[in-house]
Structure 1
Amino acid sequence: MCGILGLLLNDPNIDCAPEICEGLSLLQHRGQDACGIVTCGPKGRFFQCKANGMVRDIFDEKSVQKLIGGMGVGHVRYPTAGSFNNAEAQPFYVNSPYGIVFAHNGNLINTTSLLHFMDATAHRHINTSSDSELLLNIFANNLQQTGKFRINEDDIFTAIGGMMKQVKGAYACVAMLAGFGIIAFRDPNGIRPVGMASRKTATGNDYIIASESVVADASGFSEWSDVNPGEAIIITRAGVTRRQVHEPEIFAPDIFEYVYFARPDSVLDGVSVYRSRMAMGDALAVEVRRVLAQRRISVDVVIPVPDTSRVAALNLAQKLNLPYREGFIKNRYIGRTFIMPGQQMRKKNVRRKLNAMALEFADKNVLLVDDSIVRGTTSKEIIQMAKDVGAKKVIVASCAPPIRYPNVYGIDMPSRNELVAYGRHEDSIAGAIGADLVIFQTLPDLIESVRQFNTSINVFDCSVFTGEYVTGGVDESYLSHIESLRADNVRSKVAAMTGELSAQEGKGGGGAGVAVNGVNGRQTVLTSNGPSGQNGNGPDDTVGLHNSWYS
Structure 2
Amino acid sequence: MEILKHECGIAMVRLLKPLEYYKEKYGTYAYGLNKLYLLMEKQHNRGQEGAGIGVVKMHAYPGNEYVFRERALGKDAIQEIFETVKTKISAVGLSGHDPEWVDSYAPFIGEIYMGHLRYSTTGKSGLSYCHPFLRRNNWRSRNLLMCGNFNMTNVDSIFNGVVACGQHPRIYSDTVVLLEQLGDALDKENHRIYRQYRDSLSGQKLSVTIEDNLDMTRVLAPTAPQWDGGFVICGATGSGDMFVLRDRHGIRPAFYYRDDEVVVVASERPVIQTVFDVPRRAVSELTPGSAIIVSKAGQVSVTDVLGEAENQRCSFERIYFSRGSDADIYRERKQLGRNVVPAIMESIDNDLVHSVFSFIPNTAEVAFLGMVDQLDKELNIIKEREILAAQADGTLDPKRLSEIMERNLRVEKVAIKDIKLRTFIAEGEARNDLAAHVYDVTYGIVENGVDNLVVIDDSIVRGTTLKQSILKMLDRLHPRKIVVVSSSPQVRYPDYYGIDMSRMGEFIAFRAAVELLKDRGMENVLHETYEKCRQQEKLLDIEMRNCVKDIYAPFTQEEISRKIVEMLTADGSINAEVDIIYQTLEGQREAIPTCPGDWYFSGDYPTPGGVRLVNRAYVNFYEGNADKR
TM score, norm. by length of structure 1: 0.78
1:91 maps to 2:132? yes
Structure 1 residue 159: Cα displacement: 2.1
Q: Comparing 18-27 with 353-362, which one deviates more in the overlay?
A: 353-362
Q: Which residue among 19, 25, 34 is the counterpart of 1:18?
A: 34
Could you say what secondary structure the match of 2:482 adopts?
strand
Is residue 508 of structure 2 the alignment partner of residue 420 of structure 1?
A: yes
- Residue correspondence of structure 1 range 257-336 to structure 2 within 5 A: 257-266=317-326, 272-293=328-349, 300-321=355-376, 322-330=409-417
Alpha carbons of structure 1 residues 131 and 239: separation in structure 2 relative to 1, 3 Å: same
Q: Which residue of 2 aligns with 1:367?
A: 454
Match of 1:192 among 248, 252, 258: 252
One-letter code aligned to 2:236: M
- 2:340 is paired with a residue of what secondary structure? helix
Distance in 1 between the 2:438 and 2:41 partners?
20
| Letter of the 2:330 counterpart | Y
Query: How far apart are the structure 1 equivalents of 2:429 and 2:17?
Result: 48
Alpha-carbon distance between aligned partners in 2 of 1:46 and 1:275, rounded to the nearest angstrom: 42
**Residue 168 of structure 1, CA deviation:** 0.6
Distance 2:214 2:238 in 1: 17
Contact between 2:318 and 2:332, CA under 8 Å: does it hold in 1?
Answer: yes
1:59 is paired with a residue whose SS is helix
Asked if 1 retains the 8 angstrom alpha-carbon contact of 2:72 and 2:78, the reply is no
Runs (5+) with no aligned partner, structure 1: 452-456, 492-502, 504-551
Distance in 2 separating the partners of 1:468 and 1:131: 24
Going from structure 1 to structure 2, the CA distance change for 1:103 and 1:60 (only over 3 Å counts) comes to closer
Residue 231 of structure 1 aligns to which amino acid in structure 2?
S
Tell me, in whole angstroms, the C-alpha distance in 2 between the residues paired with 1:344 and 1:28. 33
Percent identity, aligned pairs only, is: 25
Partner of 1:176: 236
| 1:209 partnered with 2:265 | yes
The 3-state SS of whatever aligns with 1:414 is coil
Q: Where does residue 292 of structure 2 map in the other structure?
A: 233
Instruction: Identify the structure with the greater helix proportion.
Output: 2
CA deviation after TM superposition for structure 1 residue 361, in Å: 4.5
SS in 2 for 1:207: strand
In terms of mean alpha carbon deviation, does 5-14 or 351-360 score higher?
Answer: 351-360
**2:314–2:598 contact (8 Å) kept in structure 1:** yes
* Greater mean deviation of Cα atoms: 153-162 or 466-475: 153-162
2:504 and 2:617 in contact (8 A); partners too: no
Q: Which has the higher contact order (CA 8 A, sep 6+)?
A: 1
Q: How many pairs are equivalent? A: 469
* Residue aligning to 1:244: 304
Give the whole-Å Cα distance in 2 for the aligned partners of 1:187 and 1:112.
19
Kept in 1: contact 2:154–2:227 (CA 8 A): yes
* Residue of structure 2 equivalent to 1:469: 605
Structure with bigger gyration radius: 2
How far off is 1:124 after superposition?
A: 4.2
Q: Name the CA distance, whole Å, in 2 between partners of 1:350 and 1:7.
A: 42
- 2:55 is equivalent to residue 49 of structure 1: no
Change (3 A) 1:242 1:373: same
Between the aligned partners of 1:19 and 1:221, the Cα distance in structure 2 is 11
Asked if 1 retains the 8 angstrom alpha-carbon contact of 2:229 and 2:609, the reply is: no
Q: Is the 8 A contact 1:370 1:396 kept in 2?
A: yes
The Cα shift of 1:131 comes to 1.4
Q: Hey, what's the Cα distance between the residues in 2 that align with 1:69 and 1:273?
A: 34
Counterpart-to-counterpart distance in 2, 1:246 and 1:468: 22
Q: Return the alpha-carbon distance in structure 2 between the equivalents of residues 346 and 71 of structure 1.
A: 47
Counterparts of 2:487 and 2:305 in 1: how far apart (Å)? 36
What is the distance in 2 between the residues matched to 1:22 and 1:65? 18
Tell me what 2:179 maps to.
136
1:2 counterpart letter in structure 2: C
Aligned to 1:379: 466
Counterparts of 1:91-130 in structure 2, within 5 Å, are 91-96=132-137, 98-127=142-171, 129-130=172-173
| Deviation digits for residues 444-472 of structure 1 (CA, Å, limit 9, x no counterpart) | 11111112xxxxx4x61111111121112
- Decide whether aligned partners of structure 1 residues 234 and 279 sit closer, same or farther in structure 2, where only a CA change above 3 A counts: same
Matched AA of 1:207: V
The residue number in structure 2 matching 1:539 is none
2:579 matched residue in structure 1: 437
Q: CA deviation at 1:412?
A: 0.3
Q: Which moved more, 1:398-407 or 1:4-13?
A: 4-13
Q: Distance in 2 between matches of 1:34 and 1:438?
A: 35
* TM-score, with length taken from structure 2: 0.68
Distance 1:253 1:345 in 2: 42
Supply the distance in 2 between the matched residues of 1:474 and 1:274 (Cα, whole angstroms): 29
Name the structure 2 match of 1:545. none
Contact kept? 1:304, 1:310, Cα under 8 Å: yes
Structure 1 residue corresponding to 2:80, chosen from 58, 74, 85 = 58
In 2 relative to 1, CA 71–406 (structure 1 residues): closer, same or farther, beyond 3 Å? same
1:407 aligns with 2:495: yes
**Preserved contact between residue 346 and residue 378 of structure 1 (Cα < 8 Å):** no
Q: Closer, same or farther in 2 for the Cα pair 1:142/1:409, shift >3 Å?
A: same
Structure 1 residues 421 and 119: alpha-carbon distance in aligned structure 2, compared to 1, 3 A threshold: same
Shift of 1:11: 4.0
Residues of 1 paired with 2:625 and 2:475: CA distance? 29
Q: What residue is the counterpart of 1:72 in the other structure? A: 113
CA distance in 2, matches of 1:143, 1:219: 32
Question: How many angstroms apart in 2 are the aligned matches of 1:134 and 1:184?
Answer: 17
Write the letter of the residue equivalent to 1:401.
Answer: P
C-alpha deviation, 1:132, in angstroms: 2.2
SS at match of 1:461: coil
Q: What SS does the corresponding residue of 2:492 show, helix, strand or coil?
A: coil
> Is 1:354 the equivalent of 2:439?
yes
Separation in 2 of the partners of 1:108 and 1:226? 22
Higher-strand-fraction structure = 1
RMSD: 3.2
Q: 1:51: Cα distance to partner?
A: 1.6
Give the CA deviation at 1:25.
1.2
Aligned mates of 2:589, 2:131 — CA distance in 1:
33
Q: How many angstroms does 1:60 deviate by?
A: 4.6
Q: Distance in 2 between matches of 1:284 and 1:233?
A: 40
Structure 1 pair 19/287, CA: closer, same or farther in 2 (3 Å)?
Answer: same
1-structure distance, mates of 2:228, 2:431: 31
Q: Do the aligned residues in 2 keep the contact of 1:292 with 1:298 (CA within 8 Å)?
A: no
SS of residue paired to 1:246:
coil
Contact 1:186 1:232 in 2 (8 A): yes
**Can you give the 5+ residue segments of structure 2 that lack an aligned partner in the other structure?**
1-6, 20-28, 89-107, 195-209, 377-408, 513-559, 570-576
- 1:352 Cα offset (Å): 7.2
The amino acid that maps onto 1:411 is I
